[in-house]
Structure 1
Amino acid sequence: MGAAGSKLEKALGDQFPEGERYFGLENFGNTCYCNSVLQTLYFCVPFREQLLEYYSNNKSPADVDENLLTCLADLFSQISSQKRKTGVIAPKRFVQRLRKQNEIFRSYMHQDAHEFLNYLLNELVDILEKDAHTSKSNQESSSPSEKIDNGPNEMSVNGPQNELIVTWVHKNFQGILTNETRCLRCETVTARDETFLDLSLDIEQNSSITSCLKNFSSTETLNAEDKFFCDECCSLQEAQKRMKIKKPPHILVIHLKRFKFIEQMGRYKKLSYRVVFPHELRLSNTVEDADAEYSLFAVVVHVGSGPNHGHYVSLVKSHNHWLFFDDENVETIEESAVQTFFGAAQEYSSNTDHGYILFYERLVCS
C-alpha cells in the first residue's frame, strides 16, 4: 500500500492524528465481511483501549490458550504499534482461528457481517466470563493474603450464589430492553427485562432511524388467538404490549434488516430502501424521561443487489475525519458523502451501497 498510504498521509497532512494508525486489512478470498467489522471495532476507541489493556495484562503465551479474544487483541496490538502511520496488515491468525472455531465461516461463500459481529461479541463475552470464573475459583482456593488481580472493569459479583459477570464488552455494548404487557381488563402491567448487544430494526422505504426506533417501540394489541395470560385475572385476556429501552448502552449498535425472506419467491431479497441515519441521534423510546444522545462514528456498508453475493466496506469517523475502508485500501471522504449510503429512494436504482450496521457512541452530558 505504498502509494495509497502516501496518498492518505498527504491528504491528511499535518492534520494526521498523533499516535493514530490507519491500516487496511488483507482479504483472504471472501473476508470483507470480517475486515469491515474489525475496522469499526478498532475505531470504537473504548473497546480498543480495553482490549489492548487486556492484551498487555495477558500476553504471556504460557498462560493463555489461543482463542478469538487473544487473536483479536494481537491484531489490534499489531496495528497500534506500527512504526508507519499507514499500510496493510494481514489478519491471518484471526481469520484462521475464526474458521477453525466456526464452520459457518470456513466456506468461501458470501458471509453476513451482522452474523459475524454477533458471533464475535458473544464469543468474547464467553471467554471473558470463563476467565473471570477461573480467576475467582483460584482466588477462593488461595489463602486470603494471596489475592489475584483480575485487572480493571473485569468482574462484578452479586452474592455468593447468584453470580453476575460484567465484562468490558458488556460495559461498552450491552443495554437493557423492557417488555411491558398491560392487561386491558385489570390494567396490571407485567414487565420483563432482557439484555441486548445490538438492536435489529425493521425498515421501510424513505424512512429514518428515528422512525424505525419508534416502530420498534410501538404498542401492539394482543387479541383473538394472541391473547395474553394474565396472572391477576388467571385467564387469557386482551392486552397491549410494547418494547422500550430501559438502559441505553454506551455504544449503540443498530442493525438494519435489509435482507427479508419473501415467501412467494422462496428466498431472501435485499431491501435497498432509503433509510436516513443522522450523525446525531436522540433516543426517545427509553423508560426514563431523559433522552439519550448519540453520535455516529462507524457504518458497515453492504455493496450489491442481493443477499448471497456482494461486498462489505466500512466508514469510520476518527479524530473528526471520515475514512473509507475497503479491505486493503483506505482513503479520506467528506462527511457529506456519508449520506450517499442511506439507500435508494426508488426500488430500481443503480445505487447498491447501503448502510447495514450503524455504530453510535453515547454523548456524555457535561
Structure 2
Amino acid sequence: MGVAGSKLEKALGEQFPEGERYFGFENFGNTCYCNSVLQALYFCAPFREQLLDYYSTNNKSEEENHLLTCLADLFSQISGQKKKTGVIAPKRFVQRLKKQNVLFRSYMHQDAHEFLNYLLNELGDILEKEAKAAKTDNKTSSSPEKISNGPKLLQPNGAHKEPTVTWVHKIFQGILTNETRCLRCETVTARDETFLDLSLDIEQNSSITSCLKSFCSTETLHSEDKFFCDKCCSLQEAQKRMKIKKPPHILVIHLKRFKYIEQLGRYKKLSYRVVFPLELKLSNTVEDYADTEYSLFAVVVHLGNGPNYGHYVSLVKSHNHWLFFDDENVDMMEESAVQTFFGSSQECSSNTDHGYLLFYESLRTS
C-alpha cells in the first residue's frame, strides 16, 4: 500500500483533510464483506465519534473483550495513526466475530447485509447490558439495605420498563407504523415497529424513490387474507399500508438483489438498474417528518454474478471527496463514477458491480 498510499496523498495534495486517515483493511481470505461495511461505518461521522468516545471512557482490561471493544480499538488504531494512509489488519475484530458467530467462521462468501445487521444489533445489546449493569450498581451503592433486590433490576422486558435507547439506536433506529383500515367500519389499527435498515424489493430500471413508494404502497386484504377487526369482531376486508413514522438519523437502505427463484431452486442475483441519488428526499413519512432530506455518504457494492461468490468494495464520501476502498487498496474516484454502480439496464450485461447497501445521513438539524 506504500505506493498506493503515496499516490492517494499526492492526488489529494493540500486538500488532504487535516486529522483524517485513509487506511485499507487486510483481507483474511474472505473478509471483504466485513471490510467494506467497516469502512462505511468508519466514515459515518456520528458513529465514529460515539465509538471513539466509548473507547476513551471504557478502555478497560483485556477481560472486556467483546465486539464493541474490538471495534472501538480498531477505530482508535486508525484515527491515531501517524501516517495519513496505509493498511491495518482488523485481526482482533475478525477473530472475535468468528468466535462469537458460527455463521462467519467458514471461508464461504458471506453477505454484507447479514453482517451489518448482526453487528448493529450486537453493539446495541452490549450497550444495553452495560447501561442496565451501571444502573444496578448505582442503585445498590446508593441503597445498601436493598442489595438483595438488585438482581430483579436486570430482568428483561419488565413491566412498565422503557427499553434502553443506546447511541447505536439513536443513530440508526427508525420507526415504521403499519396502518390497517377496516373497509366496513373504517377503524384504523396502527402498529409500530423499529428498524435499523430498510430492505427494499427492486424492479428493473427503477429508483430508490420508486422502491420506497412500493414499500409504502396500499395493499387490499381480502379472500383468505382478510383482517380480523376488533371493532367488528369478525374477519373483514381491509387496506394496509406502511409509513415511516420516525426516520433515522442515518438511513441504511438494503437493496434485495438476491432473490430465491422457485424454478431454479436457488437464489439468483438481480442485476437490475436501480438509481440511488446523492441527495434523497424521503416521502411516505408522517407529517412531522415530511420530505426529510438525506445525503449519500457510503455505498457497499457487490461485485459478481451470484449470491454465493463475488467480492465487496465500498465507496465513501469524506470531506467532499469520493474514495474507493477495496480491502488493502484505497483510491480517489470521481463523484460521477458513483452512477456506474446503479446496475444494468439490460439483463445480459457484462456489468456485475452493483450498489447493495446505501448509507444516507439526514440533513435535518433538529
DSSP 3-state at the match of 2:287: coil
Match of 2:92 in 1: 93
Alignment root-mean-square deviation, CA = 1.5
Q: Which is further off, 280-289 or 83-92? A: 280-289
DSSP 3-state at the match of 1:7: helix
Match of 2:204 in 1: 205
Aligned counterparts of 2:188 and 2:257: Cα–Cα separation in 1: 33
- In structure 2, list runs of 5 or more residues that go unmatched: 145-156
- State the Cα distance separating 1:112 from its structure 2 match: 0.2
- State the Cα distance separating 1:65 from its structure 2 match: 1.8
Question: Residue type matched to 2:296 in 1?
Answer: L
- State the Cα distance separating 1:365 from its structure 2 match: 4.9
> Is contact 2:20–2:84 with CA below 8 Å preserved after alignment?
yes
Question: Residue type matched to 1:39 in 2?
Answer: Q
Match of 1:172 in 2: 171
Q: Which is further off, 160-169 or 73-82? A: 160-169
Aligned residues: 353
Aligned counterparts of 1:38 and 1:349: Cα–Cα separation in 2: 30
Aligned counterparts of 2:61 and 2:169: Cα–Cα separation in 1: 26
DSSP 3-state at the match of 2:87: strand
Question: Residue type matched to 2:348 in 1?
Answer: Y
> Is contact 2:343–2:354 with CA below 8 Å preserved after alignment?
yes
- In structure 1, list runs of 5 or more residues that go unmatched: 146-157
User: Which portions of structure 1, spanning 4 or more consecutive aligned residues, are displaced by more than 2 angstroms?
Assistant: 158-161
Deviations 1:94-149 (A, max 9, x none): 0000000001000000000000000000000010000001000001001279xxxx
Asked if 1:298 is matched to 2:298, the reply is yes
Distance 1:270 1:160, change over 3 A: closer
- State the Cα distance separating 1:58 from its structure 2 match: 0.4
Match of 2:43 in 1: 43
Aligned counterparts of 1:60 and 1:93: Cα–Cα separation in 2: 16
DSSP 3-state at the match of 2:217: coil
Match of 1:118 in 2: 117
Q: Superposition pairs for residues 235-274 of structure 1, below 5 Å?
A: 235-274=234-273
Asked if 1:2 is matched to 2:38, the reply is no
- State the Cα distance separating 1:226 from its structure 2 match: 0.1
Q: Superposition pairs for residues 132-211 of structure 1, below 5 Å?
A: 132-143=131-142, 161-211=160-210
Match of 1:232 in 2: 231
Question: Residue type matched to 1:351 in 2?
Answer: N
Match of 1:321 in 2: 321
Normalising by structure 2, we get a TM-score of 0.95
- State the Cα distance separating 1:364 from its structure 2 match: 2.4
Aligned counterparts of 2:91 and 2:112: Cα–Cα separation in 1: 18
Aligned counterparts of 1:278 and 1:48: Cα–Cα separation in 2: 24
DSSP 3-state at the match of 1:142: helix
* Percent identity of equivalent pairs: 83
- State the Cα distance separating 1:160 from its structure 2 match: 8.5
- By percentage of residues, which structure has more helix? 2
Match of 2:308 in 1: 308
Match of 2:333 in 1: 333
- State the Cα distance separating 1:159 from its structure 2 match: 10
Deviations 1:38-94 (A, max 9, x none): 0000000100000000000000216x5200000000000000000000000000000
